[in-house]
Amino acid sequence: MASTIERVNYYEQQYLRSFDFTAEQDYHLAMRRRLNLALHLCGLVDGLEVTLGPTDPAVDADGNTLLPDQVYVTPGLAIDGYGREIVRFATFAIDGDVLADNKISLPGAYGVYVAYQRELGTPPDAGYRVCNAKDQYTRWFETGRIFLSSDAQPAPAVATTDELPDDPDAAPWPVRLGAIQVAFDSSGTRLVASAVNAPKPGDRKYVGIRAQRIVAPVTALAAEKDKDDKAMPITAEADFRATKNAIVGTDFKVDKAKVVPPPPAADPNFPGDAGNLRIEKNLFLKGDVYKSVGDQWLGLSELFRQMIPEVRIANGIEIETSASSTDPPNNKIDLPADLLTSKVLKNPASASVFVALCAVELQAKKSLQQWWAKLTAPANGAAIDFGVTVSSLAKKAGTDNVFEGSLSWSVGPKSITALPADAKILTTKLKVNVIVIFSP
């Protein structure tokens, strides 16, 4: 097809030849294909699905299908990158003959493609054939050629102002339909299409629309004049995906300096041109909002919980005290593992611990009298000291929400060694309250 727009101009008693009618067809073909390419974009329109199953739905009296499962392509329509319509009206079975025609000799995964194809057909009636002329056919038959390939099929970028060729051999533009698995049959001697591979991104690209504005029907044009405009919205019947920003209402800018906490410094185009949703006014939500945190999706209520410090309290933890070689006697115990495990935060950044002495259990009266009478140094009347401290908490290796730490105690002063062990120290037991704060 020519790269210029040329339309036949008719006038009375004009002598028309075959190339005039060809020019008439070329004009309509070119304009329609440019419209296909410009407005609708290229890709699949309907059908042309790669399927595994019986190619004939007929069943016997018992309800069993008459044909075995087979890999096949359903009828359908596609538009290639030159704007050419590819139409197949019948099911296409991918059998052994097809594999042989595509020169497939090894098992493996193969892509399934369809490409525009045209063939001359319908010769002229008897007596109307022209001498010494080739290709005397009266019709072009247009269809889609289905083929298999293990290599990605290159497709050139085409602009609406480029020349749009009609010859599929000189300018192929295959449309990918999916992929199949080819394997040897049960005899191990014959290759068969054995399965349809799960679709991957890009396996099946459907046609699109190139437009700046989409307008829903307005009340003045509707059949029911009393209908409100909002009852006739533009509807996306399947998924709707915006590869760049989605803006509802008037566009507005987001000042990077006023975002708290600061956005990533590595993003020079904040808020960027991809993946942002900006809504000018109110947002009404019927459902929940989920945020990705690690490998989990947290609902809004759970997300807020993850943003608030978690406080855990243990009252009256008992510490058994006994004399030691040091003065004052002291020792340490591990804090309970359950107390140091966050029950709310999935992965707290840190944890702090606070301890307070809440009770002291003294020795029996006789032991107290012995302790008092034989204090080592200084003399009777020495100051009594109770001490409880906690170590800093560190996250336990291999965990996200478990920390480790210990509690140290001391009780003094100590009595002389001549006393029984249970009389060398003032107390038998301390009780403490512990507060652990997990920070998000």
C-alpha–C-alpha distance, residues 51 and 70, integer Å = 8
Nearest 5°: phi and psi at 256? -60, -35
Structural domain of residue 406, as residue ranges?
310-439
- Most confident range (mean pLDDT) of 65-79, 241-255, 287-301, 358-372 is 358-372
Q: Is residue 12 part of a domain?
A: no
Q: Are residues 173 and 247 in the same domain?
A: no
C-alpha–C-alpha distance, residues 407 and 221, integer Å = 80
Is residue 369 classed as helix, strand or coil in its secondary structure? helix
Q: Contact at 8 Å (CB) between 351 and 437?
A: yes
- Most confident range (mean pLDDT) of 10-14, 27-31, 171-175, 209-213 is 171-175
List b or e across 333-343, with b for residues whose CB sees 16 or more CB atoms inside 10 angstroms: eebeeebbbbe
Summarize pLDDT for 126-143 with one digit per residue, the tens.
Answer: 767 777 777 788 788 889
Contacts 24+ apart (CB under 8 A), 23-30: 26/1, 26/2, 26/166, 29/1, 29/166, 30/1, 30/2, 30/5, 30/164
Summarize pLDDT for 253-288 with one digit per residue, the tens.
Answer: 878 778 777 776 766 677 777 778 888 888 888 888
Q: Are residues 236 and 339 in the same domain?
A: no
C-alpha–C-alpha distance, residues 318 and 427, integer Å = 12
Q: Is residue 57 part of a domain?
A: yes
What the block records as the tokens of 365 is 């009266």
Q: Are residues 252 and 371 in the same domain?
A: no
Q: Are residues 168 and 37 in the same domain?
A: yes
Helix (H) or strand (E) holding 22: helix 18-35
Q: Where does a domain end: 168, 196, 224?
A: 196
**CA nearest 114: which of 148, 83, 142?**
148
Q: Are residues 321 and 353 in the same domain?
A: yes
Q: Are residues 186 and 251 in the same domain?
A: no
* pLDDT band at 44; cut points 50, 70, 90: very high
Given CA atoms 163, 165, 171, 172 in this order, what sign does their dihedral have? positive
What is the DSSP track for 44-75? EEEE--EEEE-SS--B-TTS-BSS--EEEE--
Structural domain total, the chain: 3
* pLDDT at position 230 over 60: no
Is residue 434 classed as helix, strand or coil in its secondary structure? strand
Q: Is residue 286 part of a domain?
A: no
Q: Are residues 222 and 182 in the same domain?
A: no
Which range among 158-167, 235-244, 346-355 shows the weakest confidence by mean pLDDT?
235-244
Higher pLDDT, 211 or 224: 211
What is the DSSP track for 115-128? EEEEEEE-PPPTT-
Q: Are residues 79 and 163 in the same domain?
A: yes
- Measuring CA to CA, how many Å separate 73 from each of 51, 77, 149, 290? 6, 12, 15, 39
Mean pLDDT, the chain, whole residue set: 83
Averaged pLDDT for residues 196-203: 80
Q: Are residues 181 and 230 in the same domain?
A: no
Q: Is residue 293 part of a domain?
A: no
Q: Is residue 334 part of a domain?
A: yes
Averaged pLDDT for residues 146-156: 85
What is the DSSP track for 378-399? S-TTPPPEEEEEEPPPEEPTT-
* pLDDT band at 415; cut points 50, 70, 90: confident
Give the predicted TM-score (pTM) of the model: 0.61
Averaged pLDDT for residues 27-51: 88
Q: Is residue 285 part of a domain?
A: no
Q: Is residue 2 part of a domain?
A: no
* pLDDT at position 360 over 60: yes
Higher pLDDT, 108 or 202: 108
Amino acid letter, residue 62 = D
Q: Are residues 270 and 170 in the same domain?
A: no
Q: Is residue 300 part of a domain?
A: no
Q: Are residues 66 and 178 in the same domain?
A: yes
Summarize pLDDT for 363-396 with one digit per residue, the tens.
Answer: 999 888 888 888 866 555 567 888 899 999 999 9
Q: Are residues 353 and 267 in the same domain?
A: no
